[in-house]
Each structure stands twice: as C-alpha cells, then as structure tokens.
C-alpha cells in the first residue's frame, strides 16, 4: 500500500470534495474589529496590545457574553420582584 492509498483510507471526505466545498462558498468579508470602539474607556491602545485577529474576536465575544449575562440577571431580578409583589 502506498502513501496516497493510506491517506484516502484515513480521510472519509475525498480531498477534491473538501477543497471544492470550501472554495465554492465565498467567505463573508468581515470588517476588522476595532477594540477602541468596544472598550472606549480603556487607558491603553488595545488594538496595539492585541494585534492578533483571533484575540480581538475573543475579546468581542467576551463583551457580548457579558451584556447577555447582564440582561439575563436583570430579567431574573424583575421576575423575582414581581413574584414577591404578587405574593404579598
């Protein structure tokens, strides 16, 4: 068995299909993440501190998750306050 046959056995998707499926779909062009806009109160230039796009994406997700968590907690607090009022 030569190396090409061994690779075909280990990879369930033929290489041609894997390349054509990713090449057929255009990747959406995303604007670069501006950390200055996300963290306006930052004392340092975060874009210079974190030039890696993956880190910028992670920081953006952290901010979005924090906002969602704050809304969730606020909703729970409103529901608890409403239940207390109804029981009194």
Q: Which of 60, 70, 66 minimizes the C-alpha distance to 39?
A: 60
DSSP assignment of 12-27:
SS-HHHHHHHHHHSPP
Condensed to tens digits (0 to 9), the pLDDT of residues 24-81 reads: 555 555 788 999 999 999 999 999 999 999 999 999 999 999 999 999 999 999 888 8
Q: What is the pLDDT of residue 86?
A: 80
The whole-angstrom separation of Cα 38 and Cα 45 is 12
Residue 85's pLDDT band (cuts 50, 70, 90): confident
HSE toward the beta carbon, residue 18, CA cutoff 13 A: 6
Give the domain ranges of the chain. Answer: 3-87
Q: What is the pLDDT of residue 31?
A: 80
Predicted confidence (pLDDT) at residue 20 exceeds the cutoff of 50: no
Condensed to tens digits (0 to 9), the pLDDT of residues 59-68 reads: 999 999 999 9
């Amino acid at each position: 068995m030569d190396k090409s046959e061994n690779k075909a056995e280990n990879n369930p998707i033929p290489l041609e299909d894997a390349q054509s499926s990713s090449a057929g779909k255009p990747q959406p062009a995303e604007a670069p993440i501006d950390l200055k806009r996300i963290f306006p109160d930052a004392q340092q230039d975060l874009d210079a501190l974190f030039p890696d796009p993956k880190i910028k994406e992670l920081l953006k997700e952290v901010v979005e998750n924090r906002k969602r968590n704050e809304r969730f907690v606020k909703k729970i607090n409103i529901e608890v306050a409403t239940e207390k009022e109804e029981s009194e």
